[in-house]
Structure 1
Amino acid sequence: MINRIGQVMLYVSNQDEAREFWTEKLGFEVISEETNGPMRWIEVAPKGAATSIVLHNKEAVAQMNPEMNLGTPSLMYFTENLDQLYRDLTKKNVTVGDIVELPAGRVFNFADDEDNYFAVMETRKKK
Structure 2
Amino acid sequence: MLNAITITQIYVPDQDQALDFYVGKLGFEVTNDMQFGPMRWLTVALPGQPDRALLLEKPGPPSMSEETAAQVRELITKGAAGGHLFFRCDDAYKTHAELKAKGVEITEEPVDQPYGIDFGLRDPFGNHIRIAQMKLG
Residue deviations 1:3-24 (CA, integer Å, cap 9, x gap): 1211111111001100110000
Structure 2 CA distance, aligned partners of 1:84 and 1:36? 38
1:10/1:56 contact within 8 Å kept: yes
- AA in 2 matched with 1:43: T
Unaligned 5+ segments in structure 2 are: 73-80
* Separation of aligned partners in 2, 1:113 and 1:74: 13
Which secondary structure state, in structure 2, belongs to the residue aligned with residue 109 of structure 1?
strand
Task: Tell me the TM-score normalized by structure 2.
Answer: 0.80
Q: What residue identity is the alignment partner of 2:91?
A: N
Partners of 2:56 and 2:22 lie apart in 1 by 10
Deviations 1:57-92 (A, max 9, x none): 11334328x5xxx63332210000211110011111
Aligned residues: 125
Percent of paired sites with the same residue:
28
| TM-score w.r.t. length of structure 1 | 0.86
Map 1:22-41 onto structure 2 (within 5 A).
22-41=22-41
RMSD over equivalenced CA pairs, Å = 2.4
Matches within 5 A, 1:44-63: 44-49=44-49, 50-60=51-61, 61-63=63-65
CA contact (8 A) 1:13 1:59 kept: no
